[in-house]
Amino acid sequence: LHFSIVSLGEVDVMENISIPQREQLRIGFNNVGLELMDDNRAILIEKIKNIIIETVHHSNEPVKINFSHYLSEKLNHDYPYLANLFSEVQGTTIEQFLISHKIEKAKELLTYGELSITLIASKLQYSSVAHLSSQFKKVVGISPSHFLKLKNIRRKPLEEIGASADKTNLGNLKEDKNKIKLFLIDDDPVYLKLLENQFLDYGSFILKTFTTGEHCIENLSENPDIIISDYHLNGIIEDAMTGLETLDKIKYLNASIPVIMLSSQDKIDVAVDCLHHKATDYVVKNETAFFRLKKIITTALSYNKMEMQLNWFEDRM
């Protein structure tokens, strides 16, 4: 076949490709970890995604016109057509996809600590800090200022630097017997780390963190006292188990482990759905989430302890 390279990952083939040749190409690409995209709709959607990712994450030049007009000009299609196609195939809107990437970039810039929230809002073309904060809280579950406070809270105290490792470990061995073994599952590594830091600072927990439900279930033989799981869990790996599927599997393997579901969605139907799947409780990701989680954990473990004592007495009657 004769071809010319249009851009990275895109070629023009000069001849008409037969069905057997197309299949040969598909197999060849699959063998080296690539995918043949020859469907015009799929190609257009991929172009929309690439423009958004390039604009948000890699370009230093601000878009000076409305983003919908910018997208139309770049792809030579009416925006309503692009928007309807994207929503139909992706199950989300172009606007939501753009917002999710802008917030991800905001988290990255906040983590680096080189820019103020005001400069980040300007760089990402928000009309105000309040506008950025509002979208950030909806997506992440906490405000940018709260995110900033939490991102470095696990720095080692000065008095612990250079302390005897043996002395510290001996103390920990005694303390660990009374600590709560907690599993945390979330496919957002930033939020997972923030939550881990909050529990570690509290001092009463031994933690293990997982970014997929599958990984958590592989470690279920360690018998955690309690599990906190995100509701979605398949935001990064599309074919990963969802939070509800993970919950069902945990309950099938060990019904006695309390599982608390966590999500940024403040919706009654989502909470009810979790409870129907035998979740202990449902918590919305916001500034008070950690305090609610602590209270629920205390209640759940107290209930479990009472139930074990009751079963012990019943066995001896």
Which parts of the chain fold into alpha helices (H)? 19-31, 40-53, 67-75, 79-90, 94-112, 117-123, 129-140, 144-150, 165-176, 189-202, 213-218, 243-253, 268-276, 289-315
Q: What is the mean pLDDT of residues 42-50?
A: 88
Range of weakest confidence among 109-113, 257-261, 276-280, 307-311: 307-311
User: What digits encode the pLDDT tens for the residues 130-177?
Assistant: 999 999 988 877 788 877 776 554 444 433 434 444 444 434 444 556
Other C-beta atoms lying within 10 Å of the C-beta of residue 111: 14
Question: Chain centroid to CA 54: how far?
Answer: 21
Element (H, E) at 208: strand 205-210
Buried b (16+ CB within 10 A) or exposed e, 299-312: ebeeebeeeeeeee
Phi, psi at residue 4, to the nearest 5°?
A: -130, 140
Average pLDDT, stretch 80-84?
A: 94
* pLDDT given for residue 213 in this prediction: 93
The pLDDT confidence band at residue 10, using thresholds 50, 70 and 90, is low
The yes-or-no verdict on residue 315 having pLDDT over 70 is no
pLDDT at residue 37 tops 80: no
- What does pLDDT average to over the chain? 81
Looking at residues 88-100, what average pLDDT do you find? 90
pTM score of the predicted model: 0.52
Assign 84 a pLDDT band (cuts: 50, 70, 90): very high
What is the predicted pLDDT for the residue at 146?
79
Please determine, for residue 200, whether its predicted confidence score (pLDDT) is greater than 90.
Answer: no
Would the pLDDT of 32 be above 80?
A: no
Task: For helices 40-53 and 79-90, give the axis angle rounded to 10 degrees.
Answer: 100
Q: What is the pLDDT of residue 242?
A: 92
The pLDDT of residue 186 is: 93
Domains and CATH numbers, the chain: 1-38 (no CATH), 39-150 (1.10.10.60), 167-315 (3.40.50.2300)
218-266 pLDDT, tens digit each: 999 899 999 999 998 877 777 889 999 999 999 999 998 999 999 888 8
Share of the chain above pLDDT 70, in %: 81
pLDDT value at 181 more than 60: yes
Distance in angstroms (rounded) separating the CA atoms of residues 114 and 6: 37
Question: What average pLDDT does range 185-204 have in this prediction?
Answer: 85
